[in-house]
A and B are shown apart, each in its own frame.
Chain A
């Protein structure tokens, strides 16, 4: 790899680049899925290539190719330089990357059991067993389950002198049971919805979650939901379980703290942010109980790595401290921009730039953006709630383009009356405005309930990029929330 990176970076400098970096990426993905007793997918996918990023005349250029040959490196680097010169035609100021980042290092995801060495038969058998359990419940129309394993090897080199090799390993699993009756479809997912729960870990991650042992319960709950009453509407107290709260954090905190969004670079696609720079350090985002951090170092977190795709070391940053908004997710360029507005802001990036493979340019993505745990047990929290709804696992999500008005639907909900769980409700939804919602958070469960959930499907950017992010959360309670919008 050294030969190719040296060649590319030398060429960048010869052609006038004041900065250049190159990422060479190889990604292997193994996907297995079972649907109603049939192995529907067993695929082994590989992709490799490189991307080069340069600053010429104060502007960015990026080009990429799947061909790892010296001649192609020359062509693609020349193209990147040409593109940068074109970018300079419509620039208003030169790119400022701030202080240099020089690191020579190797990082590998700690793995107990390499998932690529586990026999395919074992994986298929696990899914078939879980599938059978789910479909053993009368009324389950469809059971789908899947395993995903990813190994990504990346070499990063820059004209500043960095040379970083990383190997990130991910393991993911999921099952959904779908029950159908006339005019009604209900589903229950485990451990999380929308395909899978995933972490940076080996096969031990799969073993921990015991898919077969939870599949029957998913089937039973899906069938029970068919005849459950519709969640009533009104303003009430809600308790969100961990997976639902993880997505709540993702949508209403994780995205609005992306500093590229704040500065408008996602305005035409994903949107901007209500957390504008003048709010930095002073805005009350939530109640005193709300503490949110962003880190790329939590073990098994799906947003965990050694270095971001600009070669900045993984780190932990306070985002919301005792309810006050205190930090963004930054890149080298946006950290410099923020510092011009807020001289007290950190001079260096907090290492949140990531690219979806070799063909995409790094953009600011969530790491593990997590709500820190509180002091309650879940039993005590429910016992302390006179009237409310306990909402479990996401089914639908939507939020406006500044991340203020959101509406979520959940798979399963229970009435809470006089401190006890009561009737099951179907089609429960809740909606609110982000700071008001977090301002009404009055209890968070303790570290025993806290888990970092993986979101392997976060979309952003043009061309589209899918990021893998993590979100630590324990169940929490929110007062005065509008529920039951759907009739």
Chain B
């Protein structure tokens, strides 16, 4: 961690080297440690330290980007020159107006020193607890225990200067027996809030209950989706069309449906970079403060997110603070998604279900049709048949092929608690409740 003052100094150094009309410098610092285990032993234990400097140079309506991670003055000069060279080969982009100007950023305290100071020995002890529990039950544990500190500095020649640092600790495990497996995970800003043993206990319990799974015919079933499965669907919606570029190009499921009901009444989805229930990031990669954007409110399509480029294409629209790092060809993106909670416990959902399927999480989901929001994927690590309000028996995993919006239209109960679910890539998280859904389409089976 170089800290705010050092990153600011680098940013000012870069801005001083620039001869462009406008210049933006984006600096990422990361210090990540990860202990990975499998077959009840640590097999990978790593540490990474990096600082990357990314420069966007603007000449009129031409922009170029270059980056590097050598912080020497000569190397920084070369990065600036490369960005300016790249801009020189551009053509005018008529939709580009300007880098954003300075705005007041409301900071969030998302950094915990204990996470930054966590040692390999502490992580190993957490891992050892999980492995011991698995071993005692004749099972095998796999997973990872990671801690990371990330810092970000955005500055530009118009006066933007924004800094944020955050910490995240994450424990995930899959406990495996001969015929079944169980999963659990936890994510916190403060590593001392993570209880690796408790995570292990949940996964061991699921693995024991998953032994000797049986077949079930594919078809439409009531499902209770635990939070990770719901978060997977929310993230997929983000890719399919919560960004303004997808709408502007006519390929979002939101196109032509603003103000219309697109899910059940109980569904409200928003993006909020300030909410510490997620992994907060108070400004985007252009330094624009993140607005809380309600995307779907009580089932009605309300809005999408913008960066400065897509906002500049619409009269009166401003960036909502959802830019990705330049050069961004994907458009603005929701990295802090939330689904509003309901009032039910998972036990109440279970008790109210005459016949259905309990899904712990999905695996390898992928979009089949973005406008119809059709997603496919497999269940994994704890799939159970529900009969008469109780878990009846474990099931072999199933493939689903299902429209997400249709699924959310069939939501019958929402969990009262939100779980912070860390994304597989990057320091982002989605916060989701468990959801009970009717007529969820399973289209295939597998052998385990």
* Interface assignment of B37: CB less than 8 Å from any CB of chain A: yes
Name the B residues within 8 Å of A82 (CB-CB): 120
Name the B residues within 8 Å of A360 (CB-CB): 46, 48
- Residues B45 and A62 in contact, CB atoms below 8 Å apart: yes
Name the B residues within 8 Å of A86 (CB-CB): 35, 42, 45, 119-121, 123-124
Bound complex: CA A274 to CA B181 (Å)? 15
Bound complex: CA A124 to CA B179 (Å)? 55
| 0/1 interface trace, chain B 112-137, chain A, CB 8 Å (1 if under) | 00000001110111011001000000
Name the B residues within 8 Å of A361 (CB-CB): 44, 46
- Residues B65 and A429 in contact, CB atoms below 8 Å apart: no
- Residues B399 and A405 in contact, CB atoms below 8 Å apart: yes
- Residues A263 and B39 in contact, CB atoms below 8 Å apart: yes
* Interface assignment of B276: CB less than 8 Å from any CB of chain A: no
- Residues B446 and A121 in contact, CB atoms below 8 Å apart: no
Stretch at the interface among B19-27, B155-163, B364-372: B364-372
B388 CB, nearest partner CB in chain A, Å: 29
- Residues B249 and A462 in contact, CB atoms below 8 Å apart: no
Bound complex: CA A267 to CA B177 (Å)? 12
B345 CB, nearest partner CB in chain A, Å: 27
* Interface assignment of A421: CB less than 8 Å from any CB of chain B: no
- Residues B131 and A90 in contact, CB atoms below 8 Å apart: yes
Bound complex: CA A485 to CA B377 (Å)? 13
B207 CB, nearest partner CB in chain A, Å: 11
| 0/1 interface trace, chain B 186-202, chain A, CB 8 Å (1 if under) | 00000000000000000
* Interface assignment of B87: CB less than 8 Å from any CB of chain A: yes
Bound complex: CA A42 to CA B119 (Å)? 41
Name the B residues within 8 Å of A84 (CB-CB): 45
**Contact A398 to B377, CB < 8 A, known contacts A63-B47, A90-B41, A124-B89:** yes
* Interface assignment of A451: CB less than 8 Å from any CB of chain B: no
- Residues A431 and B444 in contact, CB atoms below 8 Å apart: yes
A155 CB, nearest partner CB in chain B, Å: 16
Task: Specify the chain B residue showing the minimal Cβ separation from A64.
Answer: B48
Within 8 A of B (CB), among A91-106: 91-93
Choose among A43, A271, A360 the residue with the greatest number of B CB atoms under 10 Å from its CB. A43
* Interface assignment of B138: CB less than 8 Å from any CB of chain A: no
| 0/1 interface trace, chain B 26-53, chain A, CB 8 Å (1 if under) | 0000001011111111111111111110
* Interface assignment of A479: CB less than 8 Å from any CB of chain B: no
Name the B residues within 8 Å of A93 (CB-CB): 41
Bound complex: CA A447 to CA B374 (Å)? 37
- Residues A45 and B49 in contact, CB atoms below 8 Å apart: no
Name the A residues within 8 Å of B363 (CB-CB): 271, 400-401
* Interface assignment of B172: CB less than 8 Å from any CB of chain A: yes
Bound complex: CA A460 to CA B256 (Å)? 38
* Interface assignment of A409: CB less than 8 Å from any CB of chain B: yes
Bound complex: CA A43 to CA B69 (Å)? 15
- Residues A92 and B39 in contact, CB atoms below 8 Å apart: yes
Name the B residues within 8 Å of A235 (CB-CB): none
Within 8 A of B (CB), among A411-467: 427, 429, 431, 433, 459, 462-464
Bound complex: CA A264 to CA B41 (Å)? 11
A193 CB, nearest partner CB in chain B, Å: 12
- Residues A46 and B86 in contact, CB atoms below 8 Å apart: no
| 0/1 interface trace, chain A 380-421, chain B, CB 8 Å (1 if under) | 000000000000000111111110110101000000000000
Contact partner, B251, options A46, A79, A185, A359, Cβ 8 Å: A185
By a beta-carbon cutoff of 8 Å, the part of chain B in contact with chain A is 32, 34-52, 63-70, 79, 82-83, 85-87, 89-91, 93-95, 119-121, 123-125, 127-128, 131, 140, 142-144, 146, 172-174, 176, 181, 183, 249-251, 256, 327, 329, 363-372, 374, 376-378, 380, 397, 399, 401, 424-425, 443-448
Question: What are 20 A-B pairs with beta-carbon distances under 8 A?
Answer: A38-B93, A41-B329, A42-B63, A42-B89, A44-B66, A44-B82, A59-B45, A61-B45, A63-B46, A66-B51, A83-B45, A83-B47, A87-B45, A180-B251, A185-B251, A269-B424, A359-B50, A407-B399, A407-B444, A429-B368
By a beta-carbon cutoff of 8 Å, the part of chain A in contact with chain B is 31, 33, 35, 38-49, 59-67, 76, 79-80, 82-87, 89-93, 120-121, 124, 128, 141-142, 144, 146, 178, 180, 182-185, 263-269, 271-272, 274, 359-361, 363, 395-402, 404-405, 407, 409, 427, 429, 431, 433, 459, 462-464, 482, 485-486
Known contacts A64-B48, A66-B70, A269-B144; can you find 4 more A-B pairs with CB under 8 A? Answer: A42-B87, A47-B69, A84-B45, A463-B48
